[in-house]
Amino acid sequence: MGAKPPNFPIIFLFLLSSLLPMASCSDLSITIFEVTSRSVYVQWSKINGAMSYEISASPVLLTGEPAFSVYDATTIIGSVNTLLPNTNYQVTVEATDENGTVLAQAQTFQLTAPEVPSIDQAYSKLSGSITVEWIDVPGATSYQVTAQDGESFFQTFVSSSPGTVSGLQAATTYTILVRSINSAGKSQPSLPMIAKTVLGSVSATVDSPASDSIIVSWQPVSAAVLYSVSLMRSDGLGNRWNENTTGTSINFTSLDPGTVYTIKLNAWDDHGIPGDDITFIHLTRPSAPSDMQITFSNGGSDALFSVIGADASTNYTVHIFTGNISRNCSTVSASCTVYSLKCGLEYAVYVEAITEAGSTLSSKSWNLKSVPCAPSGITVVTEEAGNLSVSWISENLSEYYVVFVKSDDGLEVHCNTSQTHCYFPADCGFIYSMSVFAYNKAGQSPPGEIFTYTTAPCCPSDFSAEFKSSDTLEIVWSPVRGAEVYETKAEDGNNVILCNDTATLCTLSGLQCNTVFNVTVYSLSEYRGSNTSCASKYMKTGPCSPEITNITKINETAFTVYWTANNNDALYTVTAKGEAGLWDCTSANNYCSLGDLPCGSLYMVSVVAESIEGTSLPSYSMPLETAPCCPANLSVLQVTQSVTNISWSLAKGAQTYNAVLVSPKGEAKCHTLQNHCLLGCITCGTSYSVSIEAISETGLTSVCNYHGYSSSACCPFGVKLLYSSSNNGIRVSWRASAGPGNYSASLHGSKGNFTCTPSSSLSYCDITEIPCGDVYTVVVSPITTGELQTLFCPKKMYSVACSGSSIGTVIYRGKRSVS
C-alpha cells in the first residue's frame, strides 16, 4: 500500500491516545509486541479465510516512504523494519484472501525508540564503579548503562551522559553498553566498550610497638605490583615520610612518643594506576614513667601510688608482684590505690603508662612490705557440755592474738592471748561466729576466716497429738532454738514412719488404726545434724472403721444392725439417715436396734466407732427400706348391682396397690398404680371385708385392713304394672330377692312422679289417683340404710291408657337402661 498523508484528526488522536490500538469494523485486532529504533513488532488475531497478512508503517508528521512486510496465514507476529528512530508511525495490518481481497484491517499509532547512542569513553576511578560518557541522542528521555562480566550484570539509569555503574568488583574487566530510552521503548545497545575497575583498597593494620615507632602491615592485593605509604604528624608539624615497597609492611622509627600520625596507603597496578586509598590515624605509645611516691593507709592494708611528672592525657596502671601473685590499680590522673594488700609479703612495684596507642612499662621497680596475715586453721571442739575450745595455727610476724566470739543472739565476747587457743561457754541451739586477728608493730592483720560453729539444736519436749483419726496422727510442738528441720518418727514394733518438715507440726498419715505408736520428735540443723537425745511418747491412732455385716427386721418399724467390732474400748453409733429424718442407736457390742422408723422411707445406715483417741471414719453405708404406709382414708361406693368403686388416699412409699374385697361367697380384687379402681363380680346383699395392699418400688408390701362393707340389697325380679280395680288405681308387683329388705316403687311420667312403699311382708303396693294417658318409667329398688333408694335397679316402661275419665288398659312398652 502507499503512504497515507497525515491529517489533523490522526495527529490529534495520536497526541491523545499515544500507543492505544484503534478499533476497526472488522474482527481483526492488533497489539504492539516490541519497539526498537528501526523496527516495530506487531501481533494480530487470525481471520478466517485470510491467506496472508500485510504490515505497513507510514510516518505521521514526516514525508517519506512507508515500510512494508508480508506474512503467510500461519503467522501471528511480524515486524516492519528500516524505520526512522524517534518517529511516530501509523501501523496498519490487513488480512487478504487468495485473490488479494482485503478481508479485515486494523490500525494503531506507534513511536519508535531513539537513535542508538555512541560511547565516547569508559573509565574507573574507584574499584567499585565505572563511569561512561556518550553523546546524547534526540528524543531520549533516559539512558540504560550496563556493565557485564560473564554472568554478572549491573546497570543504572540516567537522564543524560555521563552515567556511573556501581556495585562492581575491583580489578575486573567489564563490557559496557548504553541504550537510549523514550516512551516507546529502548534502542538497540551501543557498540560495546571494554573497561576495567581499579584495584581495591588495601586491608591493613597499624600498630605502635614502642613509643618512637609505628608499623604498617597489609595483606597482598591481587594484581598489585607496588605499594606506597606516607606518614606525617596529624598536626602538620615535622617531616613527611613517603615510602614505596613491593613488600607487605613498613616500620617507621624515630617518631615522637604520644603523638598522633596520619598514614595513607595505596596499591598500584602494572599500568601505574593507583587503586583505592585507605587512611589511618594512629597514636604512638607514651613515654615510660621515671619516678613514683608510695604512701600507706588503713593500717597498712592499702597503698596509695602517685606518679611524679604524670601526663594529663595518659592513663597509668600500677602493678605489684610477689611470686605468682599480682595486683594492680588504674587511674586517669596521677595516683591510684591498691586496697587490701596481701599480708606478710614483700612486693615489687611497676608503673605502666597507657594511651589508645598502647602501653609503656617503667624500666625500674619499687619495693613494698605489708602487715602480718590473719591466723588460719581455726578449729572448734566441744570439750564438755556447755564449753567450747577454739584453736588456730600460728602465723609469722604475729606478736599476740585477739579472738572474737559472737552468738546469733547478738552477744559477743573476746579473749587476748599469746597462745594459740581460747575457751568459751556455749548453749544448745546457738550459732557462734569466731574471728582471730594477729597483731604486730605494723598494725592489725586483715580479717581472716570467720569460723561458724553451730551447737546441737535443742529437743522439742512439749509435743502432743493435736488431731487423731483412724490413720492419722497430727503432732504439734513449740519451736526450739537451733532447729532448722524436725524429724518425727513413729514406731509400732513392725513399721517405722518418718516425717521431715521445717514446720512445728507433722501429720503422720497412712497409719494402722487402733494402734499404739512410740513417737519421737528430733531437731536437726544443717551443720550439726540431729540431736539424738530427744525423748519419746506413746500415742494411739483412732478406732478402725466398722463394717456392717447384716441388717435384720424385728417388725415393720424396728431393725437390728450387726457389724464387725475390731477396736478396743470403743463405743459404736449406728445412724439411719433418710428423707424422713435421722435415727440412731449406740452400743459397745457389735449390734444395736433401731426402732420407730417411719413407714415408706429409705434410709442409708452407717456405723462409726468412738474412743478417747477420736472417731473413726463411717462404715460403708447400707440401704434400709421400711414397708409403705397404709392409706389414711378409704371410700367404697357401689356403682351397679355387681360393680363397686373403691378409692383411697395416697400412701407414702407405695408405688402400686392391691384392693381386695372378701366374702364367704368369693373375693374381688384389682392391682393398680392409681389410688382408685372398679371391682366387679360383687354379690348384692353381701358383707365384705376390705383391705389394701400398699407395694413399694422394691416389692415391700404393707397389708392394710379396714371396716367391713355390705353391698346393697338385690333388686327384685318380675316387676309388673297392673290395673287395680279395687281402688281404680295402679298396682306395682314384684318378686323379692333373697334376704330381708324393704322396697320402694317409683313411677315417672310427663304428668307427674309417684312412689309407694309396702310393708316388709308384701311384694306389691298400690298408687291411686294416677293420671291416665301417659307413659311411665317403673323401677322397684331396695331401700338402704337411712331409707336411701338404690338407683341402679332395672327400669320398665308402661303406657296407661284412659277409658273415659278412668284408667283403661296398661301396656308394657319395654325396658329402659340404667343411667
Inform me whether the pLDDT recorded for 11 exceeds 80.
no
C-alpha distances (whole Å) from 180 to each of 32, 139, 314 are 19, 9, 62
Superfamily of chain region 376-454? Immunoglobulins (2.60.40.10)
Give pLDDT, residue 15.
Answer: 36
Stronger pLDDT, 61 or 75, i.e. the higher one: 75
Residue with cell 491467506: 51
Stronger pLDDT, 216 or 640, i.e. the higher one: 216
Inform me whether the pLDDT recorded for 385 exceeds 70.
no
Q: Does domain 464-540 have CATH number 2.60.40.10?
A: yes
Give pLDDT, residue 25.
Answer: 41
Give pLDDT, residue 26.
Answer: 55
Q: Helix or strand or coil: residue 6?
A: coil
Give pLDDT, residue 788.
Answer: 57
Buried residues in 14-50 as b, exposed as e (16+ CB within 10 A): beeeeeebbeeeeebebebeebbbbbbbbebeebeeb
The set of residues, in sequence order, having a beta carbon less than 8 Å from that of 725 and lying 6+ positions away, is: none
Q: Within its chain, how far is the Cα of 491 from the centroid?
A: 46
Inform me whether the pLDDT recorded for 578 exceeds 60.
yes
Buried residues in 157-178 as b, exposed as e (16+ CB within 10 A): eeeebebbbeebebbbebebbb
Which of the four pLDDT bands, split at 50, 70 and 90, describes residue 8?
very low
Residue with cell 497515507: 4
HEC profile of 613-629 = CEECCCCCCEEEECCCC
Inform me whether the pLDDT recorded for 70 exceeds 70.
yes
Give pLDDT, residue 785.
Answer: 61
Q: Which CATH class, in words, describes the domain spanning 292-369?
A: mainly beta
Mean pLDDT of 178-200: 93
Inform me whether the pLDDT recorded for 647 exceeds 60.
yes
Q: How far apart are CA 517 and CA 797, in angstroms?
A: 102
Q: How far apart are CA 817 and CA 815, in angstroms?
A: 7
Name which of 24-38, 170-184, 396-410, 752-766 the model is least confident about: 24-38
Inform me whether the pLDDT recorded for 24 exceeds 80.
no
Percentage of residues of the chain with pLDDT beyond 90: 50
The set of residues, in sequence order, having a beta carbon less than 8 Å from that of 698 and lying 6+ positions away, is: 625
pLDDT in tens, 663-722: 998 899 999 999 999 998 888 888 899 999 999 999 999 999 998 888 888 888 889 988
Give pLDDT, residue 165.
Answer: 96
Q: Which CATH class, in words, describes the domain spanning 634-710?
A: mainly beta
Concatenated DSSP letters for 391-431?
A: EEE--TT--EEEEEEEETTS-EEEEEESSSEEEEE--TT-E
Q: Could you give the residue ranges of the DSSP H alpha helices within 351-493?
A: none
- Domain locations along the chain: 8-111, 118-196, 204-283, 292-369, 376-454, 464-540, 548-625, 634-710, 717-816
What are the start-end ranges of the E strands in 16-150? Answer: 21-22, 30-35, 40-44, 52-59, 67-72, 77-80, 88-96, 102-111, 118-123, 129-135, 142-149
Inform me whether the pLDDT recorded for 466 exceeds 90.
no
Name which of 194-198, 381-385, 511-515 the model is least confident about: 381-385
Residue 696 DSSP symbol? -
| C-beta neighbour count of 525 within 10 angstroms | 18
Q: Within its chain, how far is the Cα of 734 from the centroid?
A: 98
Give pLDDT, residue 681.
Answer: 85
Q: Which CATH class, in words, describes the domain spanning 548-625?
A: mainly beta
Q: Helix or strand or coil: residue 14?
A: helix
pLDDT in tens, 495-509: 999 999 999 999 998
By C-alpha distance, which of 191, 37, 186 is closest to 115? 37
Q: What's the length of the chain?
A: 819
Mean pLDDT of 9-37: 57
Helices first, then strands: H and E counts in the chain: 1, 70
Q: How far apart are CA 514 and CA 526, in angstroms?
A: 36
> Around 491, how many Cα atoms within 13 Å sit in the side-chain half-sphere?
7
**Is it true that 376-454 and 464-540 share their CATH fold?**
yes
Which fold does the domain 204-283 belong to in CATH? Immunoglobulin-like (2.60.40)
Say whether pTM exceeds 0.85: no
The burial of 264, by beta-carbon neighbours within 10 Å (0-12 exposed, 13-18 middle, 19 or more buried), is given as middle
Which of the four pLDDT bands, split at 50, 70 and 90, describes residue 739?
low
Give pLDDT, residue 373.
Answer: 84
Give pLDDT, residue 12.
Answer: 32
Dihedral of CA 233/235/239/244: which sign? positive
Q: Does domain 717-816 have CATH number 2.60.40.10?
A: yes
pLDDT in tens, 239-259: 899 999 999 999 999 998 889
297-298-302 Cα angle (round to 5): 60
Which fold does the domain 8-111 belong to in CATH? Immunoglobulin-like (2.60.40)
Q: How far apart are CA 678 and CA 694, in angstroms?
A: 17
Superfamily of chain region 118-196? Immunoglobulins (2.60.40.10)
Round the average pLDDT of the chain to a whole number and report it: 87
pLDDT in tens, 520-573: 999 988 878 888 888 899 999 899 999 999 999 999 899 999 999 888 889 999
